[in-house]
Amino acid sequence: MIKYSFFVVLCLLAFVNCKDETAAEKEAKQETRELIEAAQADNKVKLYDGKIEGKDNIEVQLITEEKKVNGFYINRVQGVLYPIKGVKRDNGTLELSVYDDTGGTIELFIGHQGVGTSESPNNTIKGKWFNKQEDAGDEQSTFTFVEKEVVIAQEDLKSIQGTYEYTIQGYSSSIIIKPIGNKTVKLQSIVTYGSCTGEINGEAYIYNNKLINFFGEDNCFLKLEIGENTINASEISCSFYHGHSCIFDGTYRKVSDDSKWIMDS
């Protein structure tokens, strides 16, 4: 009887150890998946110092997913942000349209990625810039983008994560953010105003610890300016996600560090 009991205890211990190992393996696999996801997401995002000949210096962020390109540039002197949409052709040509709040093209960049020579390094994009505004005539020039690396401090990434809310005059809105890499976050934004509801659920891209941008369907561009426990949201052309009776705009205040809502979506 004693031998039998001892055998049963050994079996139980072995079973518990197996269960523990299985849980540890699952956790390790989950961590691996998260690391791969973060690397894949971050790899799409490139930041450049830019120069348009005869124009002010600019800073450019481009997100490339296969042939589709989104992003923006900031005029350093004016401090104005211009959203960008475009394509990468099979021959390597990049066609990037700068658009306004109507979706109309106001500037155009057409260029090529560097080919790895001293005259054309891999980390550059060079080509022609065109002013497409009606009163610009045939204004055009050359441009150069030079890739650079910017590292966001982990404490800044951690401080961005959480749930933010905005309620005013019938509007009830929430934004939930969870960083998944050094350049990318998972974003969920929900707005309710009477019978009008809207939701964005996807990846958004970190420019720095003060700015995150989402690029969506039909030229939707959602800019999230990060303050101390606040987010100031402003959109361009995002009616695809909420119709014409409500918007994501507003100053959201952080109510929790929790981002479970996104994780459950």
Tokens of 157: 């990434």
> How does pLDDT run across 222-240, given as a tens digit for each residue?
999 999 999 999 999 999 9
Beta carbons of 165 and 174 less than 8 angstroms apart: yes
Q: Hey, what domains does the chain have and what are their CATH numbers?
A: 45-148 (2.40.128.30), 154-264 (2.40.128)
Beta carbons of 204 and 184 less than 8 angstroms apart: yes
pLDDT value of residue 150: 85
> How does pLDDT run across 206-222, given as a tens digit for each residue?
999 999 999 999 999 99
pLDDT class for 101, splitting at 50, 70, 90? Answer: confident
Tokens of 26: 């699952």
DSSP string of 176-198, one letter each residue: EEEE-SSSEEEEEEEEEETTEEE
- Compute the distance between CA of residue 257 and CA of residue 65 in angstroms, rounded to an integer: 30
- Those residues whose C-beta lies under 8 Å from the C-beta of residue 6, and which sit 6 or more positions away, are none
